[in-house]
Amino acid sequence: KHQKLVKNMSLKRAQYEAINDETKLSVKGYIRNQHKSLFKSSTYMLFQNVPLAITCLCTIYSQSSDYFEIYPKFVKTSKNKSCVTRTIDYNRCYDEGTCYGGMEIPSTSTSINKWHLKYNRDMTWIVTVFIGITTEPYDPDIYFHHSNGRDLTQSRLAYGYSNDGGVRAYGQQWNGNAIKSFNHNDDLCLILDLKEKTLGLNINGENAGYKFKVQCDEDIEYRLAIIIFDKDTAATITKFEQTFN
């Protein structure tokens, strides 16, 4: 876990820079106060700067934000990694790819996790976006919800929703028209409820009508996963909420 944290510091620094100055100063002040209480007997330690990495990580944690950490080469991101945009035309045979969130959520945590999402445009045909969750491997060069003959030896769990109303779990048949369709004007909220062990979707505050029963175990962690199918289409995490029971 520590090695993964260090490896991803550049991404977390981008998140940190996007947070307002008032929040940064509040968190830094709190850390300094705790620092003093730990080193009361050392005047030397009192005047040492708190490492930026510590302030950065604590500030990001206080915001409980998610961001896109892994994505295909044909996708560009916003500065704080909250938005991903496809940069090439759709070609079914050659440009598969998935964008993955940065937060790995233990399936045994009994937390309730809500990703508030928006996307900016609809295709004139077929599917625009597919949103859901998945486990490892987090391969940016495949569609996370099916193998397409390319990763049949890989084991994963995946569940998701398509804007045309279809739903699918990895290794299962496509279930068309399982929910009402949604479009770029809608406010989407993907809800992973690990107390109830379900994944659901709200559209403009209303239940979309289909919930997955998700598998949970000590070795299972989930991430947000999104597929974008058309050039110049962007998907954005507008807010992330996490509560514990």
pLDDT at 109 over 70: yes
- pLDDT score recorded for residue 174: 85
Q: What is the dihedral of CA 156, 162, 165, 167, to 10 degrees?
A: 0
What average pLDDT does range 1-18 have in this prediction?
A: 52
What average pLDDT does range 196-223 have in this prediction?
A: 95
50 vs 93, residue with greater confidence: 50
Burial class (CB in 10 A: 0-12, 13-18, 19+), 196: middle
- pLDDT score recorded for residue 207: 95
Q: Report yes or no on whether pTM surpasses 0.85.
A: no
At residue 217 the predicted structure's pLDDT band, cuts being 50, 70 and 90, is very high
| Cα–Cα separations (whole angstroms), residue 102 to 4, 70, 80, 226 | 11, 7, 12, 12
What average pLDDT does range 131-157 have in this prediction?
A: 75
12-60 per-position pLDDT tens digit: 556 566 666 766 666 667 666 766 666 555 554 544 566 666 666 565 5
pLDDT at 243 over 80: yes
Q: What is the DSSP letter of 225?
A: E
Beta-strand (E) ranges in 45-187? 68-70, 75-77, 83-86, 99-101, 105-106, 111-119, 129-134, 158-162, 167-169
167-178 per-position pLDDT tens digit: 999 878 888 889
Cβ contacts of residue 170 below 8 Å, gap of 6+? 134, 144, 145, 146, 147, 156, 157, 158, 159
